[in-house]
Amino acid sequence: MTIRKRMTMLIATDSIIVLLSIYIGYFILHPKTSTISDEVVLLSAVTIQIAHHFFAWYYGLYRKAWSYASIGELKSIVKAVTFTILIVAGVQFAISQDVHIRALVLTWMLHVMLIGGSRLSWRLVRDVVVKDKNMKTVRTMIIGAGQAGTMIARQVQNNPEYGMQPVLFVDDDKMKEGLEMFGMRVYRGTENIPQLVEDHAIDKIVIAMPSMGKQPMAGLMKRCIETGIKTQTIPRIEDLMTGKVSVQDMRDVKIEDLLGRDEVQLDLQAIADKLTGKTILITGAGGSIGSEICRQVFDFRPKKLILLGHGENSIYTIDMELRQKVSTDTEICPIIADVQDRNRIFDLIGELKPDVIYHAAAHKHVPLMEGNPMEAVKNNIFGTKNVAEAARFFGVSHFVLVSTDKAVNPPNVMGATKRFAEMIVQNLAKDSETKFAAVRFGNVLGSRGSVVPLFKKQIAKGGPITITDPKMTRYFMTIPEASRLVIQAGTLAQGGEVFVLDMGEPVKIVDLAKNLIKLSGYEEEDIGIHYSGIRPGEKLYEELLNENERQSEHVFPKIYIGKATPISETEQSYVLEKLPAMADDELKATLVGLANRKFVEAPKLEADAM
């Protein structure tokens, strides 16, 4: 139906309703005889017609989409009718010095009911006829009967194209138990979710509790996905209320949600003091951690952001992404360079003069580095040495090395090279104005070397998921959280610290795999889990500190200082000189031995430190 036809139909319908309202109102009060002159009734009818169409146009009654009518539209109808009747009363008083109050009140009531009924019938047709005919709905449980949950229910009921049929609420508020909201009963107790899913043939769960803490939310999400039912969560309630997002922005529960880690509030002023208006260099800028550090540093409006990496495609990708952000404050400078090229690194740092360097460039894949140990040495040790010594030589204010928990008691080349890189940074800090620091953390979910993308690919192919050992555990953190804490740790550096990020509790890899299978809508027997055995250089359990390192108290929420003891500068120089000529076996034995050496004088790690 065209807009013109629709408007003509509404005006004609309203005209009939208006006349019926006034004549029925007068007829009910004066069914046989009337003391009211025909002239007054006729003039009132003409006036009510003109006034109604004016106020109906003014309040948008001919422009609204009545198939989505709600309380707001009903208010517009009441306003239009009320002002129309007031105009009629004024006309009656002007011509006869008398107002037929009872007749006008009755007319007002009929007017509102008939106009409102005609409009709301559009929604009734849409909700009942169109919905039943064209839309296959999914029976949905909404967890949370508060402001967010009721908003979701209202939007879903008003928009059948979402394909959802809200069936019930679940809420822990005992005051709401047994109540009905939007035609749905409220059941109490999230522990009853599995039984409610079965009893009510639920096909989908929507968690609408945006104010719940991360840890209890993680527990709730686990309970939901264990039912095998598709589970989604909603955006922040403040975004829903301001209209920034809608029900369409509901997203599936992700594996990161199940970590249950509360977001750390950063010291934004301290970070801004270090980054805003400064020149920042990030090596490995195209990698998972490096690119996220780029994104977060960019938000602090540095004067220049230097993206340095060896792979042109990854640097191109993060460069293009950042350029899509509207900012005239930051100059983005993509650089293709290899940290192993000492002359190139010195030339770049001397020319660009960065104030802060985040060194994220590294080879990180444990089994690959076992087979290519010299490449790990060249990139992780000599590459770090090149960038760090250039930072000292040109007076860079802060240098932050992105390290790993695999540097603790490493049985592998990758971990040993990263521990040696930490030692280089610690020794450089002894006689330098540059504030050097290393930040050590565990695995990050979603990185290119993470098990999560691998597991997702294996699930997509129908399985099985391959795990090295059922006892394998790892510390996990999201990429954004790790990057934020790396940036925050850089503001705390005084020189030579090895900062350790609090990774929470270690996660069994097999549990991670089972949760991913559930989140993908499968059962474990559908996909299967195959144990392949530990690969060269792998450990069953990762550590954040070894027995010879002492962990300080928190220097910031989720950030510790690990008292990692370096080797002497003489010994370091000797090893660096000999490494290039070593055979693979000797190289590994030397580095692993240095990384795991025992310092008798170092204080013991307290049992409850973590």
Of 435, 404, 406, 415, nearest to 501 (Cα)? 404
**CATH 3.40.50.720-classified regions of the chain:** 138-253, 271-444+477-504+544-595
The letter for the amino acid at 66 is W
The confidence score (pLDDT) of residue 604 equals 33
- Which residue carries 């097999």 as its tokens? 510
If you average pLDDT over residues 320-342, what whole number do you get? 90
DSSP 421-484: HHHHHHHHGGG-SSEEEEEE--EEETSTTSHHHHHHHHHHTT-PEEES-TT-EE-EEEHHHHHH
pLDDT by residue (tens digit) across 282-319?
Answer: 999 999 899 999 999 998 999 999 999 999 999 999 99
pLDDT by residue (tens digit) across 448-464?
Answer: 666 777 888 888 888 88
CATH 3.40.50.720 applies to domain 138-253:
yes
Outline where 59-146 has alpha helix (H). Answer: 71-96, 101-124, 131-134
For residues 370 and 322, what is the distance between their CA atoms, to the nearest angstrom? Answer: 35
Query: What's the N-to-C CA distance of the chain in angstroms?
Result: 68
Superfamily of domain 271-444+477-504+544-595: NAD(P)-binding Rossmann-like Domain (3.40.50.720)
If you average pLDDT over residues 424-432, what whole number do you get? 91
* SS3 of residue 336 by DSSP: strand
Active-site annotation holds for 230: no
The residues that bridge with 41 in the sheet, in sequence order, are none
How many helices, marked H, and strands, marked E, lie in the chain? 23, 21
Q: Which residues contact 99 (CB under 8 A, 6 or more apart)?
A: 89, 92, 93
For residues 138 and 512, what is the distance between their CA atoms, to the nearest angstrom? Answer: 28
pTM for the whole thing?
0.66
pLDDT band, very low/low/confident/very high, at 62 (cuts 50, 70, 90): low
The confidence score (pLDDT) of residue 599 equals 33
pLDDT band, very low/low/confident/very high, at 410 (cuts 50, 70, 90): confident
Q: Are strands 204-207 and 230-233 parallel, antiparallel or unpaired?
A: parallel
Given 274, 406, 558, 563, the catalytic residue = 406
If you average pLDDT over residues 495-512, what whole number do you get? 82
Q: Which residues contact 531 (CB under 8 A, 6 or more apart)?
A: 466, 467, 468, 469, 470
Buried b (16+ CB within 10 A) or exposed e, 477-509: bbbebbbbbbbbbbbbbebbbbbbbbbbebbeb
Q: Are strands 465-467 and 529-531 parallel, antiparallel or unpaired?
A: parallel
DSSP 281-308: EEETTTSHHHHHHHHHHHTT--SEEEEE
